[in-house]
Amino acid sequence: MSGVMTWMYRGGRVVLRRRRREPVRLVKVPVAQRPPILRRHLALAPGARPHSPVDRHAPLADFARVAPGIPVFRIVAAESPAR
């Protein structure tokens, strides 16, 4: 996905909007899997850096220390309704 996207949270169900609506689900990423994701996010999103308690060049151990306090979600396709 590229460009600006907006989302609305609905109990794990989300609708991404960019030219069209795309229903998806947010699945919480376990804390142990978050450190590399958080570091990569800071590398790709300069606007997020002022809001992070860790420098983007910090070792993974530093990201592991703050990971429990930073929610991370995986975006997965919503299941289509049964007909």
What are the tens digits of pLDDT across the range 17-69? 778 888 888 888 999 999 999 999 999 998 888 888 999 999 999 999 999 99
Residue 6: its pLDDT value, please? 53
21 forms beta bridges with 17
The least confident of 54-58, 68-72, 75-79 is 75-79
State whether residue 48 is helix, strand or coil. Answer: helix
Which tokens in the block code for residue 21?
Answer: 């609506």
DSSP structure string for 49-68 = GGG-SS-TTS-HHHHHHHGG
* Residue 10 in this model has a pLDDT that exceeds 90: no
d(CA 45, CA 36): 14
| Range in 2-11, 46-55, 56-65, 70-79 the model is least confident about | 2-11
Please determine, for residue 82, whether its predicted confidence score (pLDDT) is greater than 70: no
Residue 54 CA to residue 46 CA, distance in Å, equals 13
